Amino acid sequence: MYCGFCEFACPTFNALRSRSYGPRGRVNLIKTLIEDGFGQGRDVKIDAGVINSIMTCLHCAACDTQCPAGIKIADAIHSFKAIILQAMLK
Amino acid sequence: MSYLTHSVVLINVCRRIHVVSLDWFRALRDVIVGSLRDSWLPFPVDKSICTKWREGLSFDSDSGTILYTSCLYQLAPVIERAVAELERFGVTKGGALARLTAIGARFLGRALLRPSDEDVDRANRIIRNIYGMLRALGVRFGVLDNEPYSGALLYELGFVNEFADYARSVYKVLRDNNVSEIITIDPHTQYTLEKLYPRYVPEFNIKVRSYLDYLDSNKVKVRLSEFTIHDSCLYARYLNKYDLIRGLLRGKADIKEDPVITGRDTSHCCGGPIESTYPEIAGRVASNRVRELVRLSRNIVTQCPICYVNLRRGIKLSVVEANLFDIAEVIEVGGS
Ligand code: SF4
């Protein structure tokens, strides 16, 4: 989760030149949110910036092809999108 | 500074240009779910646009196989138009403009949307060419009188529960019409039916194939002499169609490829999946993609109506000269 090989392939990272809009940034945000208990009944506040980072993923899976650890990045982000929407649009 | 805080700071730097509020997701969900319930289509469009291509054509009504458009070629320009309108009013942005979300939802939810005549004609030509190629190859199929949309957009936006409910109702329509095999014509519908329906509708047992799978490369002719290919991410990386598509085209035209720009693993997306939620970022992604592709050729062949409308926007935004085609506009089967 730290090598960043995935970033060169990511269209939103390339368009915005911000780590938060690349696969590594998104996966690490998700990891932190899960560790904080988001979506597991704990009251974790997330601001619009975090939401935008996750919700702008295209699920194009270009990052998946670059990940040496074989992480299914696009799927993980999509699943977390659904968790955000479920948790925040009740 | 924790990673989360650090990231938020980074994002906040950019917030000025592309913050979106979850209110917009809520409004969009309500419009789509309501419209699907009322008309089986994700937006309140004039339904005749979905079936106009059938005029004067014959079908095998006794066949268990159907040609299924999911109305996506016809709807893609409608989505493009609606998003352009909403972006103009700033309804996809949050903050002080959040109240406009309600106006946007009313606009999308009430107005009867219609693509331009030119776009309708183009969609019809594409579908009729697909019909003609399949018929020329002897494939027998019918169509559904009242064809429902697949629900792909709900899933792609992240509304998984709403998608699962809707998928079950579509499956019921298919089962009630004795459908045993579906021929799709775009990657979103193919992915949704082939990969997602079996996951969310456990009893789903219908065979799903793309029209591209039926084409015999020995019989396919290519009408365009030189072009590059913009792959659909779904076809290339989720549905294993990358080689199939090249097999239909290679050796019949001067195809400009590059290991990275048009590579299976590395080709960039058109921005389509976020066009209705983050149109500004989608536009930047599309512009970047167009600029990459025109380095190879001014003629760009797509395989998906969503890619087509997004790259069309990318061409406008990046002010480059390029000609866009759908693959079904540049291929034919002898005599189709
Ligand atoms: S799936 Fe998302 S994170 Fe991965 S390359 Fe595509 S846009 Fe970037």
Tens digit of each residue's pLDDT (9 = 90 or more) over A52-87: 999 999 999 999 999 999 999 999 999 999 999 998
Q: Which of B238, B262, B285 to mutate to test the interface with A (most CBs of A within 10 A)?
A: B285
- A44 has a chain B CB within 8 A of its CB: no
User: Hey, which residues does B78 pair with through a beta bridge?
Assistant: none
Nearest CA to ligand 1 atom 5: A10
Between vectors from CA B292 to CA B322 and to CA B256, what angle results, nearest 5°? 75
Residues of chain B within CATH 3.40.50 domain(s) are: 220-333
Check whether A88 has a pLDDT greater than 70. Answer: yes
- pLDDT, residue B24, reads 81
**Ligand 1 centroid from CA B268, angstroms:** 10
Look at chain A and count its residues: 90
CB contact under 8 A, B11 and A12: no
Tens digit of each residue's pLDDT (9 = 90 or more) over A27-60: 999 999 999 998 888 888 888 889 999 999 999 9
- B25 has a chain A CB within 8 A of its CB: yes
Q: Residue B88 half-sphere exposure, CB side, CA atoms within 13 Å?
A: 7
CATH 1.10.10, applies to B220-333 = no
- A75 has a chain B CB within 8 A of its CB: no
Determine the residue of chain A that is closest to B263 in CA distance. Answer: A62
And the tokens for A54?
Answer: 């996750």
- A1 has a chain B CB within 8 A of its CB: no
Which pTM does this prediction carry? Answer: 0.92
Give the distance, in angstroms, between the CA of residue B98 and the centroid of all CA atoms in the same chain. Answer: 28
d(CA A47, CA A65): 30
Tens digit of each residue's pLDDT (9 = 90 or more) over A19-34: 999 999 999 999 999 9
CB contact under 8 A, A11 and B285: yes
Determine the residue of chain A that is closest to B7 in CA distance. Answer: A20
Closest by Cα among B216, B211, B255 to B235: B211
Locate the domains of chain A by residue range: 5-88
Nearest CA to ligand 1 atom 6: A60
DSSP alpha helices (H): ranges in B137-241? 152-157, 160-176, 187-191, 197-200, 211-214, 233
pLDDT tens, position by position, for chain B (336 residues)? 344 433 443 333 333 334 456 888 888 898 899 999 999 999 888 889 999 999 999 999 999 999 999 999 999 988 887 777 766 666 555 544 445 555 555 556 555 677 888 999 999 999 999 999 999 999 999 999 999 999 999 999 999 999 999 999 999 999 999 999 999 999 999 999 999 999 999 999 999 999 999 999 999 999 999 999 999 999 999 999 999 999 999 999 999 999 999 999 999 999 999 998 898 899 999 999 999 999 999 999 999 999 999 999 999 999 999 999 999 999 999 855
The CA–CA distances, whole Å, from B224 to A10, B229, B328 equal: 30, 12, 11
Q: How confident is the model at residue A1 (pLDDT cuts 50, 70, 90)?
A: low
d(CA B168, CA B121): 32
Render B242-254 in DSSP notation, one character per residue: HHHHHHHHTTSSE
d(CA A83, CA B11): 21
And the tokens for B231?
Answer: 């792959």
Q: Quick one: CA dihedral B89, B94, B96, B98, positive or negative?
A: positive
Q: Which of A18, A33, A56 sits opposite B274 (nearest CB)?
A: A56
| Burial of residue B225 (number of CB atoms within 10 Å: 0-12, 13-18, 19+) | exposed
**Ligand 1 centroid from CA A87, angstroms:** 23
- pLDDT, residue A53, reads 96
ipTM computed for the complex: 0.96
Tens digit of each residue's pLDDT (9 = 90 or more) over B178-228: 999 999 999 999 999 999 999 999 999 999 999 999 999 999 999 999 999
CB contact under 8 A, B269 and A16: no
Between vectors from CA B155 to CA B106 and to CA B290, what angle results, nearest 5°? 85
CA distance B161 to chain A (A): 9
CB contact under 8 A, A32 and B273: no
φ/ψ of A18, rounded to 5, equals -130, 130
- pLDDT, residue B8, reads 40
d(CA B48, CA B147): 11
Burial A32-59 (b: 16+ CB within 10 A, else e): bbeebebbeeeebebebbbbbbbbbbbb
- Ligand 1: residues with CB < 6 A are A 9-12, 23, 26, 57-63, 73-74, 77
Count the Cβ atoms, other than its own, within 10 Å of residue B249.
Answer: 19
CA distance B110 to chain A (A): 22
CA distance B159 to chain A (A): 6
Count the Cβ atoms, other than its own, within 10 Å of residue A90.
Answer: 5
